[in-house]
């Protein structure tokens, strides 16, 4: 199977209201010229992609998020809730930025690291030159999209892949942020995975897409009858995703044909993990399911004790995830048997990373935890 690149995706819940939501500052008003950078230029327009952070921050009212997702009772979620979901995903984008700068790219919410090696540190003379004189934490480049960027991020083939409110997907040069391609119009992808020369992503419009990494041309689209706000995972010959229609899907990797669907009973907002013949996904009704990767049959179900919308990681036969029960859970992936749990001071809906025998996870108690795996 080709090397896989993906990023931890929290897949934040889109409930009508969230306990303990806090006011946040809205992003600046959309600048139409920013979107034009995707569709009319190979490089960011002068004063756009190369503008300073201060200049990028001017503007007034914030644009809406892509298409109100169905909430409880058919009502759209509140603005505060949508912004909360946005900021949880922005944290993921920040993690991807570390990967682009040469840090190891993490894979929570996607396939186990065994699915492929992490992208290597940039080594070409041109890439190295871009770092000369830039302090740690300094900006190498930026690209103004004119829209909220709330997607997952993947880095492969010298490109950065993601999405924003006005476009289902885009590709930028990792070296300087120049536009390679952008497709549109549409809604921002959540799960984003690159394998070989194909980009797999879920859409808040509906379904899972496969695009060519070189130019964004569509290969296939599988309609899931609802927004895909979960992670995306790959297995041998299959793509796995959860949908707001309450199902987990197994799709044939070559053409998107539905191999199976599992009725999870409520929207699937969590990360998705697949390894060793098991697919794991969590639901709004507070269950994490272990499913047969080949047939979609339920192997086990674990009650979280609250809504489940965090990342999911499988490593060394163990699945790790968090929930609205304020806990981080570790289960035997094959059976769902609980190995351990850790109680934090708040809801756990962040991405999760396992590296070097340590589980890294964030909580709404304003803390990031490092737990022994």
pLDDT tens-digit readout, 251-297: 999 999 999 999 999 999 999 999 999 999 999 999 999 999 999 99
User: Which of 164-168, 214-218, 290-294 shows the lowest mean pLDDT across its residues?
Assistant: 164-168
Decide: 161 and 141 in contact? Cβ < 8 Å: no
Residues 6 or more apart whose CB falls under 8 angstroms from that of 317 comprise: 276, 332, 333, 334
**Phi, psi (rounded to 5 degrees) for 233:** -130, 150
pLDDT for the residue 266: 95
Decide: 7 and 154 in contact? Cβ < 8 Å: yes
Would you place residue 1 in the very low, low, confident or very high pLDDT band (cuts 50, 70, 90)?
low
First to last CA, the chain: 27
Q: What's the token pair of residue 149? A: 């960027």
pLDDT tens, position by position, 313-366: 999 999 999 999 999 999 999 999 999 999 999 999 998 999 999 999 999 999
Residues 6 or more apart whose CB falls under 8 angstroms from that of 12 comprise: 84, 85, 88, 89, 269, 309, 349
């Amino acid at each position: 199977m080709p090397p896989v690149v993906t990023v931890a995706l929290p897949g934040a819940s889109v409930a009508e209201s969230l306990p303990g939501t806090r006011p946040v500052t809205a992003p600046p008003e959309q600048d139409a010229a920013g979107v034009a950078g995707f569709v009319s230029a190979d490089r960011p327009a002068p004063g756009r992609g190369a503008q300073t952070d201060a200049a990028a921050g001017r503007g007034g009212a914030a644009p809406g998020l892509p298409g109100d997702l169905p909430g409880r009772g058919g009502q759209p979620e509140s603005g505060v809730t949508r912004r909360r979901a946005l900021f949880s995903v922005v944290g993921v984008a920040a993690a991807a930025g570390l990967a682009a700068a040469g840090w190891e790219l993490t894979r929570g919410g996607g396939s186990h690291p065994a699915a492929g090696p992490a992208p290597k540190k940039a080594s070409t003379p041109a890439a190295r030159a871009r770092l000369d004189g830039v302090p740690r934490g300094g900006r190498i480049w930026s690209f103004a999209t004119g829209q909220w960027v709330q997607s997952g991020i993947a880095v492969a083939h010298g490109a950065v892949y993601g999405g924003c409110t006005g476009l289902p997907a885009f590709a930028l040069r990792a070296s300087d942020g120049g536009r390679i391609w952008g497709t549109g119009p549409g809604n921002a992808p959540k799960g984003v995975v690159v394998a070989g020369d194909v980009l797999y992503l879920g859409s808040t419009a509906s379904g899972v897409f496969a695009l060519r990494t070189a130019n964004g041309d569509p290969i296939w689209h599988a309609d899931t009858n609802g927004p895909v706000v979960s992670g995306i995972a790959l297995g041998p010959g299959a793509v796995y995703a959860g949908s707001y229609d309450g199902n987990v899907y197994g799709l044939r990797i070559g053409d998107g044909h539905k191999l199976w669907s599992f009725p999870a009973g409520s929207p699937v907002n969590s990360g998705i993990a697949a390894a060793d013949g098991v697919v794991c996904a969590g639901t709004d009704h507070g269950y994490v399911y272990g499913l047969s990767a080949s047939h979609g049959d339920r192997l086990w179900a674990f009650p979280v004790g609250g809504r489940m919308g965090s990342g999911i990681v499988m490593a060394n036969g163990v699945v790790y995830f968090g929930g609205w029960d304020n806990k981080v859970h570790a289960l035997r992936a094959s059976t769902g048997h609980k190995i351990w749990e850790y109680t934090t001071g708040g809801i756990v809906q962040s991405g999760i990373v396992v590296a070097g025998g340590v589980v890294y996870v964030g909580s709404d108690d304003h803390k990031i935890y490092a737990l022994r795996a």
